[in-house]
A = this chain, B = another copy of it.
Amino acid sequence: MSKSTSVNPDLQREREKCTFNITELTNLLDGGPHMTEERKRREVMVLNEGIHIEEVPSEYLSHKEKYELAVKKACLMFKLIRRLQEEENAGMESFRAFLGGTLGSAILQDGSPLTLHYVMFIPTLMGQATVEQQAYWIGRAFNLDIIGTYAQTELGHGTFIRGLETTATYDAKTKEFVLHSPTLTAYKWWPGGLAHSANYCIVMAQLYTNGQCHGIHPFIVQLRDEETHMPLKGIKVGEIGAKLGMNGTNNGFLGFEHVRIPREHMLMKNSQVLEDGTYVKSPSSKLTYGTMMFVRVVIVKDMCNYIAKAVTIATRYSAVRRQSQPKPDEPEPQILDYLTQQHKLMVGISTAHAFQLSAEWIWNMYNNVTAELDAGDLERLPELHALSCCLKAITTGDAAECVERCRLACGGHGYMLSSNLPHTYGLVTAACTYEGENTVLLLQTARYLVKTWQQAQGGNSLPPTVAYLSRVGAGRRVPPWDNSIEGIIHGFQQVAAGKIALCVANIEKRQKSGMAYEDAWNMTSVQLAQASEAHCRAFILSSYFEETERQVKGVSPALREVLLQLVDLYVVYWALQRIGDLLRFTSISERDIEKLQHWYEELLTKLRPNAVGLVDAFDLRDEILHSTLGAYDGRVYERLMEEALKSPLNAEPVNQSFHKYLKPFMQGKL
C-alpha cells in the first residue's frame, strides 16, 4: 500500500485533525476487526490477480468491445472465485462481494454477463426445483457445464407479472411443454446474460394444461447448443441494445416459436403437472415471494455501497478543491468549508450509515420470517413484504439522489466519466426500476398500510413495524412537540399515521360519492404513495436511531460522539425536508423550526473536521473507487490529466477527420 507517500497536504491535514479512530469505525462497519481483516485479505488476493486493470479504459471502447471485455473479465473473475472456493472450502455466500458488491464492481464496472447465473439461475433452482431436479441441474450449473439466466420480464410487461404473455402448454401425448411467444410484446426482454452468454434459461411462462391457464410457472429451457453456442431451433435470441449503464450485462431478448421441452423441465417443487396433465397446486402461492424479497434486501445493502463510494469521492475532492475568495486577504478555501457543500455531502455520509443499519434490521427480520415460514407460519409475511417494498423504493430513490448530488457537488469534473460518478449513478438509478418499479412498490405498501389502519380502527393489535399506528391514531389529541431526536421520530410516525388516515378518509369519501373502490384508490394514489413514503421514513429514522444507540454502547467515547452526531444530522435533515408534513400533523412551531435549522447548521460545523475521516472509514480502496477525484492520496488534477491522456484520440496530434472533413470544409471543397 502506497497510502503514506505524497498525499495531498490538504487531505493530510484533514486526517490529522480527525477526532476519532478511523480503524475503529471501519471495524464497526465491517462487523468486527476480524471481518475487516478478512475483507482486506480477500481484496488484496483478488486485486493482485490484476483482472480489473484495463489497457484502454473501457469508456473508450465500442459497445461490442465492451461486451467482449466483460466476458473476458467475468470468466477470469469466476475462475478465481472457483479457485478460492476450492482453496478455502467456502460457500457462495462469502463471495457475495464479487457479485453485487464493491469488489465485483471494481472488476466489472459496467456489469457482468454471468452474474445472473449465480444470483438468479442457481438460487431459483435451489428454491423451486424438486430434489431430483436439483440433483441433476445444480451440479451442472455449479460445474459450469451450463450457464444459465432467469427470464421473467417481457417487452410488454414488467412489474405486473400476471400480465406476462409467454405460454407453456402441456401436450400430454408427448409429455412435453410447448413454449411460445404469441405476440411481439411476449418476447422476454432485459434478462442479463441472456443475449449471447447463457445457454440455458429459467423461463417464467403462463402454464396451460387441459385447456386451462394456471398462471406463471418456472421452466428450464435450453437456448443454445452446448458445443457450438448456436441458438436452437425456434429460439429467437439477441441483445436489446445500448443502455444508460450496465453495458457489460448483455441484457437480452428471447422469443419462442413452439419450442418443445420435456415435462421434467418444469420446476416442480411447488406446483406440479402430472403426466396426464393434471395440475397439482402449490400449498401456498406465497412461497415464491421468497427469492424476490431476498433480492430486494440485497438491493438495500448494495445502495449503502454505492452511496459510500460516491460520498467518498466527493468529500475527498471537496477537501482538495479550493475555489473563490470570500475574504480578500485569505487564500481560496477548500470547498468543503462552504456550508452549502457540507449540506450536500454530510447527509450522504449519514445516509450510508442509516441504510446499512436498516438493511441489517430487515435482514434479521427476513431471516426470522423465513424460519417461521419453514415452520409453516405465514403471519409476518405481509408485513415483511410491505416493508421490503417501500424500503427498496425509498433507499434506491434516495441513493440515486445522493449519488447525483455528489456528482453535481464535484462541478464539471463530476461530469467526467473518469470521476466514476456518472457510472455509479447509472447503476443506482437502474435499481429504481428493476425488481419492482418504485411507485408501484410504494402503492403495494400503501395497500398494506390502509388495511392495517382499518384493522387498528377495529381494535386489532398490529405487527411490530406498524404498531405505532395504534399508538398515534388519528383523531387523538396531538401531543406537545418535543424538539429532540426521539420527538422528531415520533413526529414522523404521527405524519405517517396522519397521512394514512387522510388517504382512508379520501377513499371513503370518494366511494360515498359513487366511485368504485379502484377508482377512488387511483384518485388518491398520489397521496397514498406519499403516505407509504412517510411510513418508510419513520421506519428508517427509528431503526437508524435505535440501532445506533445499541451500537455505541461498545465503542470509544470519541467515536460515539461522532456516530450520534451523524444520527442527529440525519434526523434533523429529514425534519427540515419534511417541515410541511410536521406542521400539518404535529404541533411543531416556527420557533422549533428555526431551532432545528440552527441545530442542523451547528451539526454540519461539528462534523466538518471529521468529514474526510468518516469517508476514509468506509475503507474503499482506490481500485474500488476507480475515480480520478476520489483516490486516497488526493492527486486529483494529476489523475485527471493522466486519464485524459489515455484517450485514444490523444494518441495522434491530428485526427484523420481533419484531412477527411474539416480541411475540405474550410476550403469550401466538401
Q: A residues touching B (Cβ–Cβ < 8 Å)?
A: 57, 59-65, 67-68, 71-72, 75-76, 78-79, 144-145, 147, 153, 155-160, 162-163, 184-185, 187, 189-190, 195-197, 224, 228-231, 238-245, 253, 322-327, 332, 337-340, 343, 404, 408, 411-412, 414-418, 422, 429-430, 432-434, 437-440, 443, 502, 516, 518, 521-527, 529, 578-584, 590, 593-594, 597, 600-601, 605, 637-638, 640-641, 643-650, 653-658, 660-666, 668, 670
Contacts and interface: CB of A to CB of B under 8 A. Distances in A.
A340 B529 contact: yes
A416 B247 CA distance: 10
Contact of A325 (B63, B163, B224, B584): B163
Contacts of A243: 415-417, 422
A601 B61 contact: no
A584 B590 contact: yes
20 contacts: A61-B63, A63-B647, A63-B648, A71-B662, A72-B660, A75-B661, A75-B662, A75-B665, A153-B412, A156-B322, A157-B323, A160-B324, A238-B644, A253-B644, A340-B525, A340-B526, A408-B433, A502-B594, A579-B581, A584-B590
A241 to B, nearest CB: 4
B660 A323 contact: no
Would you list the 4 A-B pairs with minimal beta carbon distance, nearest first? Answer: A580-B580, A579-B580, A75-B665, A71-B657
Most buried by B among A75, A415, A524: A415
A139 to B, nearest CB: 14
Nearest to A442: B340
Nearest to A155: B637
Contacts of A662: 71, 75, 147, 197, 229
A343 B61 contact: no
Given A244-B417, A593-B584, A597-B527, A325 B162 contact: yes
A416 B240 contact: yes
Contacts of A582: 580
Nearest to A434: B412
Contacts of A526: 339-340, 343, 600-601
Nearest to A657: B71
Nearest to A641: B184
A601 B325 contact: no
Contacts of A332: 160, 163
Contact of A647 (B241, B414, B656): B241
Contacts of A593: 584
Contacts of A239: 644, 647, 649-650
Majority secondary structure of chain A interface residues (helix, strand, loop or mixed) = helix
Nearest to A225: B654
B647 A242 contact: yes
Given A243-B416, A580-B580, 15 more contacts: A59-B242, A71-B661, A72-B660, A72-B661, A144-B668, A185-B637, A189-B412, A229-B663, A243-B415, A244-B422, A339-B522, A339-B525, A415-B429, A415-B430, A583-B583
B638 A184 contact: yes
A326 B522 contact: yes
Contact of A665 (B78, B162, B663): B78
B159 A323 contact: yes
B158 A411 contact: yes
A179 to B, nearest CB: 19
Nearest to A68: B657
Nearest to A516: B327
A386 to B, nearest CB: 18
Contacts of A656: 68
A243 B153 CA distance: 31
Contact of A145 (B62, B160, B666): B666
A340 B648 contact: no
A60 B64 contact: yes
B158 A412 contact: yes
B641 A187 contact: yes
A417 B246 CA distance: 12
A415 B244 contact: yes
Given A242-B417, A584-B579, A523 B63 contact: no
Contacts of A430: 415
B416 A241 contact: yes
Most buried by B among A157, A197, A242, A253: A242
B644 A163 contact: no
Contact of A241 (B242, B253, B418, B664): B418
Contact of A242 (B185, B231, B418): B418
Contacts of A63: 59-61, 647-649
Given A323-B160, A332-B163, A522 B583 contact: no
A189 to B, nearest CB: 8
Contacts of A322: 156
A273 to B, nearest CB: 25
A451 B373 CA distance: 66
Nearest to A324: B160
Given A76-B670, A324-B160, A433 B416 contact: no
A382 to B, nearest CB: 19
Nearest to A649: B239
A242 B155 contact: no
Contacts of A59: 63, 241-242
B195 A653 contact: no
